[in-house]
Amino acid sequence: MSSRLRELVRTAPDWTSAETLSADVRAWLDRALQLLEELDPVEAGILQVHLQFIQDDTVRHGAEIVEALWRVEKKVGERENPSPG
């Protein structure tokens, strides 16, 4: 799962110039939401809030979406590779 999250982050649109209504950006956002719904419903809810307002401030909300992906990637990595303790 971590690899899917990293791939999404790697392929994130350039939020400074992204057209949030374009088919490519919408498809990326749909993949991000679907993956977060599978892995972390709380983060998926946060992502949905950012999706509601992404057209108002694409740079800010796009960055927050990528940050949510990083948070989930970290959580998944910790679950997949727990530290001895």
Domain boundaries, the chain: 2-78
Q: Can you tell me the distance from the alpha carbon of 81 to that of 77, in angstroms, rounded to the nearest whole number?
A: 6
Q: Which two tokens stand for residue 82?
A: 């727990």
Q: Report the 3 state secondary structure along 6-56.
A: HHHHHCCCCCCCCCCCCHHHHHHHHHHHHHHHHHCHHHHHHHHHHHHHCCC
Task: Calculate ∠ Cα 47-52-53, nearest 5°.
Answer: 100
Q: What is the pLDDT of residues 14-64, one digit of tens each?
A: 999 999 999 999 999 999 999 999 999 999 999 999 999 999 999 999 999
Q: What is the pLDDT of residues 61-74, one digit of tens each?
A: 999 999 999 999 99
